[in-house]
Chains A and B, each alone.
Chain A
Amino acid sequence: DADVTQTPRNRITKTGKRIMLECSQTKGHDRMYWYRQDPGLGLRLIYYSFDVKDINKGEISDGYSVSRQAQAKFSLSLESAIPNQTALYFCATSGSSSYTQYFGPGTRLTVL
């Protein structure tokens, strides 16, 4: 089984809808991250969490919110989806004493 899983893998939705992307990990890591990647571009950090009670905004947090339900679960929500949020979304984890990040397979989100 994969160490970092994301659901759903693909999602098509309409403008204005609320969407939740979920991430689960079995690596026992404290730190979790959400990134988005647009075609031909690198990854940009949306939110990160260093433990269950710690949530921090990344560079592009506007229009997104997160919830760290447990050490192993970190969800990303789009409160009211808009077309320019169409992108590939990745969840990642890392240990508290390491900067090495382990990525999930990604969620391809299309907002019509």
Chain B
Amino acid sequence: LAKTTQPISMDSYEGQEVNITCSHNNIATNDYITWYQQFPSQGPRFIIQGYKTKVTNEVASLFIPADRKSSTLSLPRVSLSDTAVYYCLVVGNTGFQKLVFGTGTRLLVSP
């Protein structure tokens, strides 16, 4: 599975748009990019998944360039409750035994 690299932490203020970028240089053709959110002492929660271009749902957008070697999670107008750790995961049908959630990006939203 592709190794991912994310910023360790980010700070923002309520109402701002937050973009978290994940690098996955050795992504395979059949791999999908998935983002999760985790609050302290809770299990990760699925946010969004994509393969290419742009995907949008009610909580976030995911932008994937043509080479698919990176992706950007965009959270519009964040609130205090968006303070959490965000994980980027590249998943496919091969190498599943090496599936690892990295340390993620710790987002702190301030008033």
User: Interface on B for A, CB 8 Å cutoff?
Assistant: 32, 34, 36, 41-46, 49, 87, 91-92, 96-104
Contact = CB atoms under 8 A, between A and B. Distances in A.
A58 interface: yes
Nearest to B43: A103
A90 interface: yes
Contact of B49 (A40, A56, A99, A105): A99
A101 B46 contact: yes
Interface string A51-64: 00000111100000
A37 to B, nearest CB: 8
Given A103-B44, A103-B45, 9 more contacts: A33-B99, A42-B87, A42-B104, A44-B101, A48-B99, A57-B97, A58-B99, A101-B36, A106-B42
17 contacts: A35-B101, A41-B103, A42-B102, A42-B103, A43-B44, A43-B101, A44-B100, A45-B99, A48-B99, A56-B96, A56-B97, A59-B97, A99-B34, A101-B36, A103-B43, A106-B41, A106-B42
B97 A58 contact: yes
